[in-house]
Structure 1
């Protein structure tokens, strides 16, 4: 028991040095590898006529910051969804949340091609809510549609439908090139401006996640248990949906659809720190940030000087994990 209690403390000790190492490695490695002294000079004594310094400041640093933030946001969204629905297979990429964001972004590129970073975040947020409501609305109409495996299948199918419609519209209106960024998750093209605009919305989403975390712990044990503790289920679930939509919408607006992080990481966090969602949400966010940042580093190193799509790297871990969950958990909800 003492070992279990000490896990969160040990993780907290490891986080700061791990973050420094992750950021340094991400900035150093890529098509061009930089030494530590070059990175240091670019960060603190930049020569803006030096191309290497410009690449580090305008591309590499925003890239690792974006990867850390997006990994954090998606992992927390997945943890909230799994706790709220008591579904081990719930995640933004499976339940239509990310696909709804891309669908609305596609519409904005067609009808409002000059959207600002702020409006892009808002469109993505609206799309996240619509995607989530679409999947759960259809699932409610199907017998046993809310069981874990059924919901995962419905979410995957409807996500593919939304993606198909998005791509058809993009092709018809000749904006495929403009929206390819959101389908291919190009972290190296992340816009520093959109990172800045995302921070206020992200803070709102994270604060809501923290506020509902205690109630999510009770809901994860069953609605009856939560009601017995005096929890307003409708209010908490609406707040949770708002947090998930905000965090996922921001993530998609920043880098496009990233798969499997919201599925995998909450399970790892739950294994490490137990069933308290205050702990799960915090550590899922931290682990998700590191996971995506290192997946991005690996995507650059696996076939240099070319980059493997980061979605391939997350899928290499995510697909076996997804199949493992189906085999071990089956159609059962977690209590």
Structure 2
């Protein structure tokens, strides 16, 4: 590719970027996250006033049952929603930039299915492990899935391409889902695994957040550091290589970051679809195609989406809570259909 063509692509990215809009979205989104987190804490099987929530935060009284519920159950759940939403959205944004596939998310490489399979193995053979062990198994499953998909994509002549990653990811996902189902049937784990398949934040504990939070923060910081390189990769590997980018190292680092983000999310909330698909497109529509802005905006918008969906699920069924994955799917499926129709008309 000629130098003039490369310069034209880079100029197009710079011209389409809207940093002021991105900063407004981030500032507004952070304020909305604070408000929604408070609303999430106040919402549940029994309504709690926002004033009581505030008192439980600044003047915690262990003798009051509502304060105990707020501190030990509802605050971890609300914070987990923000964390899981941010991780899934950023993982999807990275995958879309890496593979140049507009329908990519962390499930594309079998990450969610691999993590789910590892959790099934954990329940079947190591039922006594705690939150730390569950997170380790989730990470390990995601890593195995990445390794298999990456290895399959590298076997053919010409190396890894977006279409090969997509096909390999679909095959590996189907394999891990089938294995997980087989384990669930053989060991009678349908009830235990149903939560992980449906997706949800109910029962989230501080110990889970303590284990996942540091890894998630490191991975999100890594995503920001990789954002410029992912922007160049989204233009095509030939363009990125022509600009001096070490594409092999960038791909490997991006896959590791996505693995940590997806594995940590699954260990807390199970397999939740569509967040990594929808949110990056929304962020890209608002701030342009520069991933230096897409990634932080996706993190905030993803947290907002999951928090809103979790609140809606608790309103629909205050006693047990509608599964989070089902609520998000109600939004994700229409989005997917509209996206496909627009793509077919050449609008995207």
Q: Provide TM-score, normalisation by structure 2.
A: 0.87
d(CA) in 1 for partners of 2:54 and 2:207?
A: 23
Answering whether residue 275 of structure 2 is matched by residue 253 of structure 1, we say no
Answering whether residue 255 of structure 2 is matched by residue 241 of structure 1, we say yes
Answering whether residue 92 of structure 2 is matched by residue 78 of structure 1, we say yes
The equivalent of 2:201 in structure 1 is: 187
Please report how far the alpha carbon of residue 255 of structure 1 lies from its aligned counterpart in structure 2 after TM superposition: 1.3
Cα RMSD after superposing both structures: 2.7
d(CA) in 2 for partners of 1:137 and 1:260?
A: 26
Aligned length: 332
Answering whether residue 245 of structure 2 is matched by residue 231 of structure 1, we say yes
Is the CA contact 1:265–1:284 (under 8 Å) kept in the aligned structure 2?
Answer: yes
d(CA) in 2 for partners of 1:162 and 1:67?
A: 26
The equivalent of 2:192 in structure 1 is: 178
SS at 1:72 equivalent:
helix
Q: Structure 2 unaligned runs (5+)?
A: 1-14
Q: Structure 1 unaligned runs (5+)?
A: none
Is the CA contact 1:89–1:152 (under 8 Å) kept in the aligned structure 2?
Answer: no
d(CA) in 1 for partners of 2:243 and 2:75?
A: 46
The equivalent of 2:117 in structure 1 is: 103
Shift of the 198–290 alpha-carbon distance from structure 1 to 2, 3 Å rule, reads: same
d(CA) in 2 for partners of 1:16 and 1:206?
A: 16
d(CA) in 1 for partners of 2:113 and 2:190?
A: 16
Please report how far the alpha carbon of residue 126 of structure 1 lies from its aligned counterpart in structure 2 after TM superposition: 1.8
The equivalent of 1:283 in structure 2 is: 297
The equivalent of 1:63 in structure 2 is: 77
Q: Provide TM-score, normalisation by structure 1.
A: 0.90
The equivalent of 1:297 in structure 2 is: 311
Is the CA contact 2:109–2:146 (under 8 Å) kept in the aligned structure 1?
Answer: yes
Deviations 1:113-157, CA, capped at 9 Å, x for gaps:
2223223222211211222344455567799x9666x86676456
The equivalent of 1:166 in structure 2 is: 180
The equivalent of 2:137 in structure 1 is: 123
Shift of the 268–242 alpha-carbon distance from structure 1 to 2, 3 Å rule, reads: same
Please report how far the alpha carbon of residue 243 of structure 1 lies from its aligned counterpart in structure 2 after TM superposition: 0.0
d(CA) in 2 for partners of 1:3 and 1:221?
A: 15
SS at 1:188 equivalent:
coil
SS at 1:291 equivalent:
helix
